[in-house]
């Protein structure tokens, strides 16, 4: 056991903890002393460790039990609806693109809003977002429904003045009149802002991805190549899973950026929500699923490549400079976390 204030993380931003068991000890430190380049991964043991600390994505998203085809279909239509922005120029998909096999982001450092103004943070992926402990980098939205309501009314993003204007636009469309009535049977006036958010959230709960890493966890010895296996081995034994654990490989805690070596940012992160001093520069740790598809990286979008993000995290969070071979293998492993259809398109 350790009673240090912080447990180091390489990918995320360092989680505050008291009395947390060191992950390396839990793994038995079977990797210690082995040469990463020369070692042959012990595949069954590696799979067992990865399954215990991470595990595959679920077949269905939590909370989707009551989502009907009509509700999901309406949510998809609303997700791509540009009339939800002040000048009919942007939809949810503009910043969180899921069409054309994209990674649920716009691949820009920060996103332009309906009137060209840019937000201060990188747009996080919407893929698998229903598994996150909260939404947005600072966790200010507890649910997908809460998150769906925010950007539409944000003056920098979609810029609608109030919910009533949104409802007026949708109510004027006979197609939406029928779709809302079907999705919310029994309601006299189903076109409401709450129902809009419920529908979008239902669609987003369908955005579960399927990747080769989960194929490996489920028993396929051929799913990962030797470099990817070495990267997984290093990922499991160097502290990454202290922060990037669970099926999403992250997104289940808030962590500090610049734990060992400082990171220059004026963004106070979680502090802006809680106003608690200890939350300054803490952010929701990003999920690593589909990370290859979601460049650029960090909350401020300053890291243009995954290789540089890996190097930076090693230094900022562990005070460690990874070798080029280690970076190569770690990036190779991270590539196995890409949704297979989207990964095929990316090639």
State the catalytic residues.
157
Helix (H, G, I), strand (E, B) or coil at 56: coil
Cis peptide before 287 (omega within 30 of 0): no
Nearest to 138 by CA among 337, 300, 303: 300
Q: Looking at the chain, list the stretches that DSSP marks H as alpha helix, in order from N- to C-terminal side.
A: 23-26, 43-53, 69-79, 92-95, 144-153, 163-171, 174-183, 193-204, 212-217, 226-237, 271-274, 306-313, 324-335, 340-346
Report the residue count for the chain. Answer: 347
Report the C-alpha gap between 226 and 325 in whole angstroms. Answer: 13
What is the sign of the dihedral through the CA atoms of 21, 51, 343 and 114?
Answer: negative
Burial (0-12, 13-18, 19+ Cβ within 10 Å), 173: middle
Report the C-alpha gap between 314 and 37 in whole angstroms. Answer: 19
322 in Cβ contact with 223 (< 8 Å):
no
92 in Cβ contact with 255 (< 8 Å):
no
Where does residue 41 fall: left (phi above 0), alpha (psi -120 to 50 degrees), or beta otherwise?
beta
Q: Which two tokens stand for residue 201?
A: 């959230």
Nearest to 311 by CA among 327, 287, 294, 297: 327
């Amino acid at each position: 056991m350790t009673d240090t204030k912080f447990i180091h993380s390489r990918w995320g931003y360092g989680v505050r903890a008291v009395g947390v068991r060191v992950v390396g000890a839990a793994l038995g430190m079977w990797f210690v002393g082995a040469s990463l380049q020369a070692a042959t991964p012990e595949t069954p043991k590696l799979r067992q460790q990865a399954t215990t600390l991470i595990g595959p994505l679920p077949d269905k998203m939590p909370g989707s039990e009551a989502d009907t085809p009509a509700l999901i279909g309406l949510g998809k239509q609303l997700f791509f609806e540009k009339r939800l922005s002040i000048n009919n120029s942007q939809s949810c998909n503009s910043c969180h693109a899921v069409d054309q096999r994209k990674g649920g982001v716009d691949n820009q450092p920060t996103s332009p809003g309906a009137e060209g103004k840019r937000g201060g943070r990188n747009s996080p992926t919407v893929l698998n977002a229903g598994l996150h402990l909260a939404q947005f980098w600072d966790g200010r939205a507890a649910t997908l429904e809460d998150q769906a309501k925010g950007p539409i009314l944000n003056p920098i993003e979609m810029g609608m003045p109030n919910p009533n204007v949104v409802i007026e636009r949708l109510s004027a469309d006979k197609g939406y009149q029928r779709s809302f009535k079907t999705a919310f049977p029994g309601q006299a006036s189903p076109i409401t802002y709450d129902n809009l958010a419920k529908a979008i959230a239902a669609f987003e709960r369908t955005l579960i991805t399927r990747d080769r890493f989960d194929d490996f966890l489920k028993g396929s010895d051929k799913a990962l190549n030797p470099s990817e296996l070495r990267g997984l081995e290093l990922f499991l034994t160097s502290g990454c899973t202290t922060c990037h654990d669970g099926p999403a490989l992250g997104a289940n805690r808030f962590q500090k950026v610049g734990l060992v070596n400082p990171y220059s940012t004026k963004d106070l992160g979680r502090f802006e929500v809680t106003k608690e001093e200890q939350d300054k520069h803490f952010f929701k740790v990003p999920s690593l699923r589909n990370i290859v598809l979601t460049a650029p990286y960090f909350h401020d979008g300053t890291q243009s490549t995954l290789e540089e993000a890996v190097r930076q995290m090693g230094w900022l969070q562990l005070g460690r400079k990874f070798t080029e071979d280690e970076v190569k293998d770690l990036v190779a492993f991270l590539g196995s976390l890409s949704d297979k259809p989207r990964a095929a398109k990316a090639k």
